[in-house]
Amino acid sequence: MNRDAGAIPSRFAISSAVIGRVDVGAGTVRVTEDDITIEIPLQPNGGAIRVPFASVDRVVGGGNADTPLALALRDGTSLLLTSADAAALRDAVLAECHRVPELTRALRGLGSRRTGRGERPGGVEDEVRFFAPLLAARRAAAAARVPGVALAAFDATALEATLRTTLAALASARAGNRAARRRSIEAELLELAEPLSRALHALDGVAAEARDDVDDLTRWRAWIAQLRLVMEAADRTWLSIDIVLAREPVARGRRA
């Protein structure tokens, strides 16, 4: 999750750090956007130990100063951190582990505003309308302070309903008063959007699993992975739909 500057502390004193069965001593923990860095002054070279967030499978405990924060790592190692600020440390770690990454940088269709035949009238507006619900969901998820809110931002059922409404409007704008033509164009658009619909349906399933246990970061990462597939499916779908829309000009006096 994205954090407002200064909203959550990023440096914490710890009275002990136990890696596996070895207590390496007291020191400090820094939580950055990339990793958890444990600094133990009494260890050689300051004892800097970096734990990437990608290696953390589960966060347990840390609810108060009497309960150490336990991290289960992907390689089977356990990391136990004891701190008077255990609850704040837990919040900081989970905030970074639940960060929603950038999802659009690798997309080819979003922002291209082109078909194989070049710019077309209304192409920008159509593209914006198609992607707007997904981009709004991504912004809401990135701004969320708790994982449940981020998961809810990508409501797969609502997104699919919006997709169908959008495609129906795009078809209607091109068919004018010709009902049969409208149904034909809409059916073609819905067929092209089927991969996106399947990806959204799968997203609904992994979101439910992540929601059941937000401390299980393997479930959260499965949701993020499926979210990437949704965005990639949307990108491919738009490239195909854009070709159809270029072939079917908007009826005179109509606009989606």
Domain boundaries defined on the chain: 11-97, 123-247
Query: 27 forms bridges with which residues in the sheet?
Result: 14
CATH top class, domain 11-97: mainly beta
Closest by alpha carbon to 130, among 14, 245, 47? 245
Those residues whose C-beta lies under 8 Å from the C-beta of residue 124, and which sit 6 or more positions away, are 113
d(CA 50, CA 175): 60
Q: Are 171 and 215 in contact (CB under 8 A)?
A: no
Q: Which amino acid is at 133?
A: P
What is the residue-level pLDDT of the chain in tens, covering all 256 positions?
444 444 456 899 999 999 998 898 899 999 988 899 999 887 666 668 899 999 999 998 887 777 899 999 999 999 999 999 999 999 899 988 998 988 887 677 676 654 444 577 788 889 989 999 999 999 999 998 889 999 999 999 999 999 999 999 999 999 988 999 999 999 999 999 999 999 999 999 999 999 999 889 999 999 999 999 999 999 999 999 999 998 888 876 555 5
Structure tokens at 117: 């035949």
**Is the pTM higher than 0.85?**
no
Q: How far is CA 170 from CA 35, 48, 110, 211, 220, in A?
A: 45, 57, 17, 35, 35
